[in-house]
A and B are shown apart, each in its own frame.
Chain A
Amino acid sequence: MRGQDLLHPRPEGLYCPPGDFFIDPVRPVARALITHGHADHARPGNTAVLATQQTLDIMAIRYGATFAQSSQAAEWGKPISFGDCTVTFHPAGHVLGSAQIAVECGGLRIVASGDYKRRHDPSCQAFELVPCDIFITEATFGLPVFRHPDSKAEVAKLLRSVSQFPDRTHMVGAYALGKAQRVIKELRDAGYDRPIFIHGALQKLCDYYQTQGIDLGELKPATLEKGAKTDFAGAIVVGTPSSFADRWARRFADPVAAFASGWMQVRQRARQRGVELPLIISDHCDWDELCDTIDEVGAGEIWVTHGREEALVRYCELKQLRAQPLHLVGYEDESE
C-alpha cells in the first residue's frame, strides 16, 4: 500500500479511504477523528467524532453538548478498528488531551501528529514518540529562527517586570485553550501565589483544567468597576489576545502589554502588535525540536503541513529523507 492510498488530502480534510474517516476535517463529515480542541482542528457539525475524552469535553465546552451526533472516547494507546485499518491515539504534548493519531493498514503506519511539542508543559500530557513509516509533521514554527527559550526563564522575565513596575497592570495575552492555562500553571510553579485575574472568555476552560487535576491556584474574574483603575495595579491579568483590543483592556492601570506566543521570538512581530513584554512561550515545537523529531521518529518519508513547509522539506532533503509538503486547507497559520 502506498502512503497516499492510506491518507490523502481532500477539500474536507485529511481522508483515509480504507477506514472511511477524516482527521481534523474543516467541513462537516460522517466520521471525524479529532487530534485536539483548537478551533481550527476541532469543528462542530460532524456526525460521529472520535477523540480523547478531554478533547471531547473541550469540544462540548466550546460548542455545546450537541457538537456532534455521536461521540466516542479514544483511550491512549488502545487500537480501534475501522474496516481494514486500525487507529491509535498517542499524546502530542500540545494542549490538554491533544493526540497524535497513528493510522495503520496493510503493514503501513502513518502518524498524523496534529499540533505537537516536545517541551515539558505542566498543563498537559507529554509527547510520545511513535515509530512509523510516514510521519506527518506540522510546521508552524518551521524556520531555523524559531528556537524557543526555556519557558521558566520567560515566566521569570514576567515576574521581574511585575516587581519592577508594581504600579502597572501586566496584561498577558494568551490563547484561551492551553496557552492561558499553561502560563498560569507556570506562574504557580515559579512560586507566584497571588490571585491571577482572567478575562471571562477563559473562565470555563480554566475551570475544566482544574477539574482535570491541573491546579491553577486562585483565579478571579478581571472585571472592573467604573473608576477603579488602581484595583489591578501590580496584578497579572490573563486574557485572550483579541480581548486586549477591546475597550475592556483600556481600563486597566497603565498596562504592560505582554503576549505569550512563539511568534514573539521575532522582535518585529512584537513591535507590530504593540507588545511591550514579549514572552516566548509556545504550544508548538521549535525548529530544533521539529528536526529532532524527524530524526528520531525513524520514518522514511515526511509529510509537512500547517505552516512553513519549505524549510522543513529542505531540512529533510539535506538529510536525504523523502519529504513533501502536504497541502491542507483551513488551518490558521497565525494562531497557536
Chain B
Amino acid sequence: MRAFAELLDRLVLTPSRNRKLQLMVDYFRAAPDPDRGLALAALIGDLDFPAVKPALLRALMSERMDPVLFGYSYDYVGDLAETISLVWPTGDDGAGTELRLADVAARLMAVSRSDAGKVLTDLLDHSAASERFAILKLVTGTLRIGVSARLAKQALADFGSKPVNEIEELWHGLHAPYADLFAWLEGTADKPVPQAQALFRPVMLSTPMGDTDHTKLEPSDYAAEWKWDGIRVQVVANNGTYRMYSRTGDDISGSFPDLMQAVTFDGVIDGELLVGDPQGRTATFSDLQQRLNRKSVSPKVQAEFPVFVRVYDILQRGEEDLRGLTFVERRKHLKAFVSTLDPARFDVSRFVSFDSWAQLDEMRKHPPHPIIEGVMVKRWDSTYVPGRPKGPWFKWKRDPYTVDAVLMYAQRGHGKRSSFYSDYTFGVWSGPEDAPELVPVGKAYFGFTDEELKQIDKFVRDNTIDRFGPVRSVRADRTTGLVFEVAFEGLNRSTRHKSGVAMRFPRINRLRWDKPTAEADRIETLQSMLDA
C-alpha cells in the first residue's frame, strides 16, 4: 500500500507525461502481483467499492473528533477524503505490518454496507496518512490523478516493450488483476488468449474538423458520409456468440433482443444504432433513448421503437481480420456483407459525393434529414487503427456551436424548481492529452421535462463528492460523470474565466447518458471556434 500511495502522490504532482509513464513503469516493475494489477485497475477507474459512501465517512469522523475541530480542518483542506486521511486519529501511524493493496481491495470489495464502517475503520487505523489518503480516494472513487486509460496502457506497453495497440487489442478480454498480462509483458508467459467469445475490438475514433483543417486536404483523398445522430455500436458475432457493444465496450445486447435476433452472421461490424426503418423513417435521438439503459424491453416498446444499425465499417468477415485493409477495400467487403443481412435491421451508410470542400460544407450545413448532425470525412486509404489517430477521420458537425461538456457542479434552482438541482456548471477537458483536467466553461439551467430533471437530480445526489452551501460538486472524471450537449450562440474571449472563453446564451441541448465523459470535447475545440 505504501508504494501505491506514493505512486498516487507523485502522479498527481508530476506534470510531465513521460515522467508519469516512468513512475508507472517503475511501479509495475517493483510491485508484486496482484497488487500491481489492482493498482492498474484503480488508476484507470475500474475499481469500485459500492459499499462506502461519503455519508459513512462523515459519520465515522463525527464519532472520532470534535465537530468544530473537524470543521476548521475541512475548511482549510477543502477535500473530504484528504481531510479525513490527515486528521484520522491513530496510534501507530503506519508502524507495524504494512497493508497490502490486494488485501485492502479484497476486504473492501467483499464488505456489506452494514459492515463497511467497521472494515474501513480497521484499515485506516492500520495505515499512515498517505495510505489513508489512497484508501479514501479509492473508496470515494475520486482519484483524479491525471492518468487516462490510454496513458496507463502506454505505461504497460513501455514496461513490456510492446506496441500499445497490441495491448488495446487484448484489453477487453482481460480482467483485474491482470496477472496474465503482466506475465506476458515480463516475458515469463505467452500472450494471453482471451477466453471470452465475441470480444469487443477497440474502436477507431475521429477528430473534429477545425475550420481551416480541410484547406490542407485534397478532397479526392477522402470519402464523406452523413453523420447520423444515434449511438455508435459494434456488433460482434463469432462462433455462435453474438454481442452488441457501445463504443466503450459495454455489452448492450440485452436491451436489443429484436436486433440481436437478426445477427445471424460471423464477423464484426461498426455502425450507428438508430430507431426507425432503414427504408423509411429515421427517428430522433430521444426516441432512441426510449430503448437505452433498459433491463427488459416490452414487445410494445420494441414495436413502437424498432432499432436498426446503419453500418459504416467492417472489421472482420468470418475468420478474416480486415482492419489492415484500406477503407475503400473494407467498404467493398461491407457492401457485399450487408447485402446478405436482414434489410429491416441493417443498411450501409451512404457516401456523399462531393468535388470540393466548399460543396461539402454547404451540404453539411443543409443536410437532407433532421437526424443528421453533419458529415464524417474519412481517408479512402485509411486502415482501421484503434484510438484517435489525427488525420485519417474527421467529424464535421452541422452546428459549429455545440460542444459536449461534463457536469461539474449543480445548484438548486429557483421558484418551483428550488427542490431540484437544476442549475449546472459544466466543463471541457484541458491540459495534456494524457493528463486532462476539466475546466469549467459555462453555466446553464436545464429546460427539459420534469422527468429528465428528476433523473439529473438523482444523478447529482448519488454522485455528490463535495458541498459548498447550495452547490454540490459532482463526480466528474475520465470514467464517471454526465455529459451534456451544450448549444450556445457565440463565444467570447474572457480573462475572467479560467478557461479563457465565455459562452453566449448557453443552453443544455441534450443529455448524453450514453456518452463517456472521456469523449467530451476539449478546450481546444472551443478555442478554435474563437478564432473563427
Q: In the complex, A243 Cα to B403 Cα: how many Å?
A: 43
Contact A314 B26 (CB under 8 A): no
Mark A304-315 against chain B: 1 for CB-CB distance below 8 A, else 0. 000010110011
| A 141-175 contacts with B by CB, 8 A | 143-147, 149, 157, 161, 164-165
Do A143 and B12 contact each other (CB < 8 Å), given the known contacts A149-B129, A164-B22, A314-B66? Answer: no
Contact B13 A277 (CB under 8 A): yes
Contact B78 A157 (CB under 8 A): no
Contact B79 A268 (CB under 8 A): yes
Q: Within 8 Å of chain B (Cβ to Cβ): is A128?
A: no
Contacts of B273 in A (CB 8 A): none
Contact A143 B76 (CB under 8 A): yes
Do A144 and B65 contact each other (CB < 8 Å), given the known contacts A157-B6, A266-B77, A267-B82? Answer: yes
Q: In the complex, A143 Cα to B77 Cα: how many Å?
A: 10
Q: Within 8 Å of chain B (Cβ to Cβ): is A275?
A: yes
Query: Nearest chain-A residue to B14 (Cβ)?
Result: A276
* Minimum C-beta distance from A248 to chain B (A): 21
Segment among B67-75, B345-353, B519-527 that sits at the interface with chain A: B67-75
Q: Within 8 Å of chain B (Cβ to Cβ): is A228?
A: no
Of A164, A275, A314, which contacts B13 at CB under 8 A? A275
Of A161, A165, A268, A275, which contacts B77 at CB under 8 A? A268
Q: In the complex, A143 Cα to B129 Cα: how many Å?
A: 15
Contact B87 A277 (CB under 8 A): no
* Minimum C-beta distance from A53 to chain B (A): 37
Contacts of A318 in B (CB 8 A): 66
Q: Within 8 Å of chain A (Cβ to Cβ): is B83?
A: yes
Query: Nearest chain-B residue to A168 (Cβ)?
Result: B19
Contact B66 A149 (CB under 8 A): no
Q: Within 8 Å of chain A (Cβ to Cβ): is B490?
A: no
| B 11-53 contacts with A by CB, 8 A | 12-15, 19, 22-23, 26
Contact A145 B77 (CB under 8 A): yes
Contact B73 A145 (CB under 8 A): yes
Q: Within 8 Å of chain A (Cβ to Cβ): is B128?
A: yes
Q: Which of B15, B69, B79 has the most CB of A within 10 A?
A: B69
Contacts of B26 in A (CB 8 A): 164
* Minimum C-beta distance from A304 to chain B (A): 13
Query: Nearest chain-B residue to A265 (Cβ)?
Result: B86
| A 244-299 contacts with B by CB, 8 A | 265-268, 270-271, 275-278
Contacts of B94 in A (CB 8 A): 149
Contact B78 A144 (CB under 8 A): no
Q: In the complex, A149 Cα to B2 Cα: how many Å?
A: 13
Contacts of A315 in B (CB 8 A): 69
Q: In the complex, A318 Cα to B67 Cα: how many Å?
A: 12
Contacts of B72 in A (CB 8 A): 143-144, 308, 310-311, 314
Contact B10 A145 (CB under 8 A): no
* Minimum C-beta distance from A155 to chain B (A): 14
Contact A311 B69 (CB under 8 A): yes
Q: In the complex, A268 Cα to B26 Cα: how many Å?
A: 25
Do A147 and B69 contact each other (CB < 8 Å), given the known contacts A266-B82, A276-B14? Answer: no
Query: Nearest chain-A residue to B95 (Cβ)?
Result: A150
Do A270 and B77 contact each other (CB < 8 Å), given the known contacts A145-B86, A147-B86, A149-B129? Answer: no
Contact B78 A268 (CB under 8 A): yes
**How many A-B Cβ pairs are below 8 Å?**
69
Mark B257-295 against chain A: 1 for CB-CB distance below 8 A, else 0. 000000000000000000000000000000000000000
Of B15, B69, B129, which contacts A276 at CB under 8 A? B15
Contacts of B9 in A (CB 8 A): 267, 278
Do A145 and B76 contact each other (CB < 8 Å), given the known contacts A265-B86, A315-B69, A318-B66? Answer: yes
Contact B129 A147 (CB under 8 A): yes
Mark A93-112 against chain B: 1 for CB-CB distance below 8 A, else 0. 00000000000000000000
Query: Nearest chain-B residue to A146 (Cβ)?
Result: B86
Q: In the complex, A265 Cα to B83 Cα: how many Å?
A: 11
Contacts of B73 in A (CB 8 A): 143-145, 311
Q: In the complex, A295 Cα to B13 Cα: how many Å?
A: 37
Do A270 and B79 contact each other (CB < 8 Å), given the known contacts A143-B73, A149-B129, A314-B69? Answer: no
Contact B66 A145 (CB under 8 A): no
Contact B69 A144 (CB under 8 A): yes
Query: Nearest chain-A residue to B72 (Cβ)?
Result: A311
Contacts of B69 in A (CB 8 A): 144, 311, 314-315
Contacts of A268 in B (CB 8 A): 77-79
Q: In the complex, A268 Cα to B13 Cα: how many Å?
A: 10
* Minimum C-beta distance from A271 to chain B (A): 7
Of A145, A157, A270, which contacts B83 at CB under 8 A? A145
Q: In the complex, A310 Cα to B12 Cα: how many Å?
A: 31
Q: In the complex, A147 Cα to B294 Cα: how many Å?
A: 49
Q: In the complex, A275 Cα to B9 Cα: how many Å?
A: 11
Of A271, A277, A311, A314, which contacts B10 at CB under 8 A? A277
Q: In the complex, A276 Cα to B15 Cα: how many Å?
A: 8
* Minimum C-beta distance from B395 to chain A (A): 35
Q: Which of A147, A157, A164 has the most CB of B within 10 A?
A: A147
Q: In the complex, A277 Cα to B11 Cα: how many Å?
A: 10
Contacts of A314 in B (CB 8 A): 66, 68-69, 72
* Minimum C-beta distance from A264 to chain B (A): 10
Contacts of A266 in B (CB 8 A): 76-77, 82, 86
Contacts of A147 in B (CB 8 A): 86-87, 93, 129
Contact A144 B87 (CB under 8 A): yes
Contact A165 B86 (CB under 8 A): no
Q: In the complex, A298 Cα to B455 Cα: how many Å?
A: 59
Q: In the complex, A164 Cα to B23 Cα: how many Å?
A: 8
Of A144, A164, A265, A267, which contacts B12 at CB under 8 A? A267
Mark A178-198 against chain B: 1 for CB-CB distance below 8 A, else 0. 000000000000000000000
Contacts of A278 in B (CB 8 A): 9, 13
Q: In the complex, A271 Cα to B9 Cα: how many Å?
A: 11
Contacts of A146 in B (CB 8 A): 86
Q: Which of A267, A275, A277, A311 has the most CB of B within 10 A?
A: A267
Contacts of B93 in A (CB 8 A): 147, 149
Q: In the complex, A29 Cα to B465 Cα: how many Å?
A: 53
Q: In the complex, A262 Cα to B6 Cα: how many Å?
A: 18
Query: Nearest chain-B residue to A268 (Cβ)?
Result: B78
Q: Which of A161, A265, A270, A311 has the most CB of B within 10 A?
A: A311
Question: Could you pull out 7 A-B pairs where Cβ atoms are within 8 angstroms?
Answer: A143-B76, A145-B77, A164-B22, A165-B19, A271-B12, A311-B72, A311-B73
Closest 9 CB pairs of A and B: A145-B86, A144-B87, A145-B73, A311-B72, A276-B13, A144-B73, A144-B69, A314-B68, A145-B77
B interface residue numbers (CB < 8 A to A): 6, 9-10, 12-15, 19, 22-23, 26, 65-66, 68-70, 72-73, 76-79, 82-83, 86-87, 93-94, 128-129
A interface residue numbers (CB < 8 A to B): 143-147, 149, 157, 161, 164-165, 265-268, 270-271, 275-278, 308, 310-311, 314-315, 318
